[in-house]
Amino acid sequence: MPPTSRWVIPPPRKTLVVGVADMAVSNDGSAEIVTYSLGSCLGITIYDPLKKIGGLLHLMLPDSNIDPAKAVTMPYMFVDTGVPRLFHAAYNLGADRSRLIVKVAGGAQMLDEKGIFNIGIRNVDAFKKLMIQQGLAVHAGETGGLVSRTIRFDLANGNTTIKSPGLDPYPL
């Protein structure tokens, strides 16, 4: 007698963890990409649904001009140097620009209650400006506020979920 479905265990999912000022791009449909604790940082996902190619970038700051040397060694730290690299890495795996679904989360007002630095707002503004310059649409986003966010991005289907403290995960 064949085993019932309770005995059939799917293989474990491969999880790619993206740290601060880092990114991951993959065409492995069995993987998910996750980044934790986005405060003022942005988490940006891109996905080609036909080829099942996607990536996630966790960036910190809007403009590399504040530290050009750092931009050379840590390009994923900045909107202006990290975002183009995210897109080019996906293109190198075969993603098509016209099919890319772009989502963004983060940009919260963290550890800056008086709004002196406004890093989150500046990150969001720089990202939106770059997307407009490149003629690309942002398909979904959840930015601002006062909460941190964790992003999980499923390469099998492009689903992106957000988890914030005290809330159940929800789709982006």
- Identify the residue whose tokens are 């992106």: 160
Which of 24, 31, 41, 105 is catalytic? The answer is 41
Annotated active-site residue 150? The verdict is no
CB atoms within 10 A of CB 30: 13
Distance, in Å, from the CA atom of 33 to the CA atom of 72, rounded to the nearest integer, reads: 24
Residue 20, φ and ψ in degrees, nearest 5: -65, 135
Q: Write out the H or E segment, with its range, that includes residue 20.
A: none
Strands 14-17 and 31-38: parallel
State how far the Cα of 171 lies from the Cα of 91, in Å rounded to an integer: 25
Positions marked active-site:
41
